Structure 1
Amino acid sequence: MTITIRSLERRLSSSTKLSPFASMQALRLSANAQPAVDPAKLKIVKRTLHVPPLDEIKTVFHEALSKNFAEVKVEIVDSPDLTEPPFHLATPGLSGRPTILDVGGISFYSNEIEKQKLYDIETLVKHLGYTKELLVIGAAHGPWPHLKKDSDVVVNTVLNKPKSAARSYGITVDETRGKIEFQALPLNETRFSVLGNLFLSEGKPGKVLKVFAKKRTGKDSFIFSMRRSIENRYGKKLVGIGGAFVIQKGSTLQYFPNLLNKPLAEGSRMRRVNSYYLYDSSPPQIAVGTFVSANTDLDLIPHHFHTFSDHKEGGHYLVDSSPETVEYLGYFTPGEVLYKVDQAPPGKAPAVPIPENY
């Protein structure tokens, strides 16, 4: 039987009541038939995070970044309107129920993409009790039923709001041309696969940490410097940070899985290293994601940021590749609670040919 949007609308408006999860999945059937996992069937663990005063985090960040960058400034400020350039986020601020969401894990990855587990941000956050307008930003593996191939996704969306101009972006590799393909996702495409590291908040203005760093002199990247600083300072007290930053100047090293070891076209800007493609992207790049002070028994991903840009370049942020000229500007805030959703079983993860301090 052929299912059309019109027939689905009739079915959903009939006397038969469907759950919110079933309704959303049904509306997507006309585009593709692969549903996301029902969040009610997933194991979810909630942890209350340690939330240090912003003044304290400010000092911790400054000390760590000063060891790796020539110029550093960390301030506590009122959040600017982050919907404006250069950030282009889905809401003006980062405040209001700040939450860290860590979903899935790398052992759910499969070379056969149709076997990769699918999640839906919209149904998941409603299951967690978030029903007001909600900013969701971060890094995840892509929605393969929509993009039809292995992919990453830059999540930048606002839920429970009638209209939004903000977009999430899918990132894939065109091996025949040897280049990254970057495309805006439909506003109703809120799925991802395998794993995701997301920051949630009501998107309200509020006090945030403004972090500026210029000219990298050490081995640690911008994000790794800050992540290691909270690891060293807070030990077993779990701290989670979410936010966005812009690489204003300097190129950025990105990577993308190449577990099938496919060759690249001659003259490609990309290069192969073991099971990954590496490539440089040009500024400005906007990055969104999270980092935590420890992976704990929940097997949390320590830090994960994806980037996007007006000039259709982006990917998984590793480190700047032009340390002499790089400039970062970011806004961050600590989360109050963390959810680990569907912790992956132990398994052999793909080897990552990247130094730990990236």
Structure 2
Amino acid sequence: MSKVEKFAFHIPSLEELVGVLQNGLKENFADVHVSVVDCPDLTQEPFTFPVKGICGKPRIADVGGVPYLLPLVQKDKIYDLNTVAKEIQLPGAFFLGAGAVSSRTVGCNAELVPIVQAKNGDKPAVNGSYLAKINPENGGCLLEKYSTKYHDCEFGLLANLYACEGLPGKVIEVKANQRTGELNFISCMRKVLEKHYGDKPVGMGGTFVIQKGKAKIHIMPSEFSACPLETDEQMNNWLKFFEMKAPLTCQPVLVSRDPGFDLRLEHTHCFSHHGEGGHYHTDTTPETVEYLGYFMPAEYLFRIDRPKETHMVGRD
């Protein structure tokens, strides 16, 4: 069993968060509208999730970490979302987020876009995940629905996960258009929360859509690096970067401030219905970009299998 550490987040009301985000996001976007709404039916396009909503016992799990990938990969670090659901005290949890595939299952390295309802008693898991890998034929992006080839709920090395019961309910809707600042959508939200709540960490997760514009996305190479990757520059030279077009459905996990668990403070992966996806960095079309997101504050953080030896490379 992995070591599991638990922490209770500060949980502001949805109404309070609306005010904080509305004021803060205005510094980074020309057009901002934040409100409390009923969660839309996430079984519908463009989400096509196996559950209707992102409500019910919301929590965040930070599993493994970048130190298991860099400087050199530790391929034995393999996890299972059905096990993680039990470790976060929510059997049958619905998971969204960002991670790496299990190279044992997939046979290579790739970005995992987890969308999984874990098994619960006799009810089998429903895996709606995607994986984005480098197409060996042309070096482009190959986005695959996970369940077309694989029948497990494994992942490898690291994942940042938002988990809940997958229920309908009240959520925070964020509309942000025309980026005027330097920060990407999620970094901006996270820094707004950090500035407002200071040493009271707030965690959030959910989903957002880049409805218009293009985005800078990376995909890890299929082969792990044989040379140690010891700086962000070496890491970025190893990664493959793309400009991908909207609409992109994204799965952010963010924590305003690390309460001492060696967290990755933000991590967002995305998929689409036109064959593109991967790790979101920022939009590349600030004047035309349109974001529409649905978020929930998490009640708890679960830190699972925290690396004993750590570093800060490759965290953006």
Task: State the TM-score, normalized to the length of structure 1.
Answer: 0.79
Q: How many residues align?
A: 303
Task: State the TM-score, normalized to the length of structure 2.
Answer: 0.89
Does structure 1 residue 168 correspond to structure 2 residue 168?
A: no
Kept in 1, the 8 Å contact 2:186–2:252? The answer is no
How far does residue 110 in structure 1 lie from its aligned partner after superposition? 5.3
Matches of residues 272-291 of structure 1 in structure 2 within 5 Å?
273-291=236-254
Q: Structure 1 counterpart of 2:103, which letter?
A: W
How far does residue 166 in structure 1 lie from its aligned partner after superposition? 5.8
C-alpha distance in 2 between matches for 1:96 and 1:188:
26
The aligned counterpart of 2:182 is: 219
Cα distance change, pair 164–249 in 1 and its aligned pair in 2 (3 A): farther
Kept in 2, the 8 Å contact 1:253–1:321? The answer is yes
How far does residue 88 in structure 1 lie from its aligned partner after superposition? 1.8
1:181 corresponds, among 136, 142, 152, to: 142
Cα distance change, pair 165–123 in 1 and its aligned pair in 2 (3 A): closer
C-alpha distance in 2 between matches for 1:288 and 1:239:
17
Identity of aligned residues (%): 35
Matches of residues 16-31 of structure 1 in structure 2 within 5 Å?
none
The aligned counterpart of 2:230 is: none
Instruction: Please give the per-residue CA displacement for 1:147-197, whole angstroms capped at 9, x wherever unaligned.
Output: 211111000111236478761011111355121111111273211111100
Does structure 1 residue 84 correspond to structure 2 residue 84?
A: no
How far does residue 296 in structure 1 lie from its aligned partner after superposition? 2.7
Instruction: Please give the per-residue CA displacement for 1:225-268, whole angstroms capped at 9, x wherever unaligned.
Output: 10001111111111100100000000111113357499xxxxxx
The aligned counterpart of 2:77 is: 117
Q: Structure 2 counterpart of 1:182, which letter?
A: L
Does structure 1 residue 292 correspond to structure 2 residue 255?
A: yes
How far does residue 90 in structure 1 lie from its aligned partner after superposition? 2.3
The aligned counterpart of 1:143 is: 102
The aligned counterpart of 1:317 is: 280
| Higher deviation after alignment, 339-348 or 312-321 | 339-348
The aligned counterpart of 1:205 is: 168
Kept in 2, the 8 Å contact 1:101–1:338? The answer is yes
Cα distance change, pair 298–206 in 1 and its aligned pair in 2 (3 A): same
Kept in 2, the 8 Å contact 1:92–1:204? The answer is yes
Q: Tell me, what secondary structure is at the counterpart of 1:274?
A: helix
Kept in 2, the 8 Å contact 1:142–1:171? The answer is no
Kept in 2, the 8 Å contact 1:113–1:150? The answer is no
Q: Structure 2 counterpart of 1:208, which letter?
A: V
C-alpha distance in 2 between matches for 1:332 and 1:308:
18
* Unpaired segments ≥5 residues, structure 2: 228-234
C-alpha distance in 2 between matches for 1:337 and 1:305:
19
How far does residue 128 in structure 1 lie from its aligned partner after superposition? 3.7
Instruction: Please give the per-residue CA displacement for 1:124-143, whole angstroms capped at 9, x wherever unaligned.
Output: 21244323x42111100112
Q: Structure 2 counterpart of 1:278, which letter?
A: F
C-alpha distance in 2 between matches for 1:155 and 1:68:
29
Matches of residues 14-163 of structure 1 in structure 2 within 5 Å?
40=1, 42-109=2-69, 115-131=75-91, 133-160=92-119, 162=123
Question: Which fold has the larger relative contact order, with Cα–Cα distance below 8 Å and residues 6 or more apart in sequence?
Answer: 2
Kept in 1, the 8 Å contact 2:64–2:306? The answer is yes
Kept in 1, the 8 Å contact 2:36–2:171? The answer is yes
Q: Structure 1 counterpart of 2:142, which letter?
A: E
Give the aligned CA root-mean-square deviation in angstroms.
Answer: 2.3
How far does residue 345 in structure 1 lie from its aligned partner after superposition? 2.2
1:236 corresponds, among 192, 195, 199, to: 199
How far does residue 68 in structure 1 lie from its aligned partner after superposition? 1.1
How far does residue 347 in structure 1 lie from its aligned partner after superposition? 3.5
Cα distance change, pair 349–109 in 1 and its aligned pair in 2 (3 A): farther
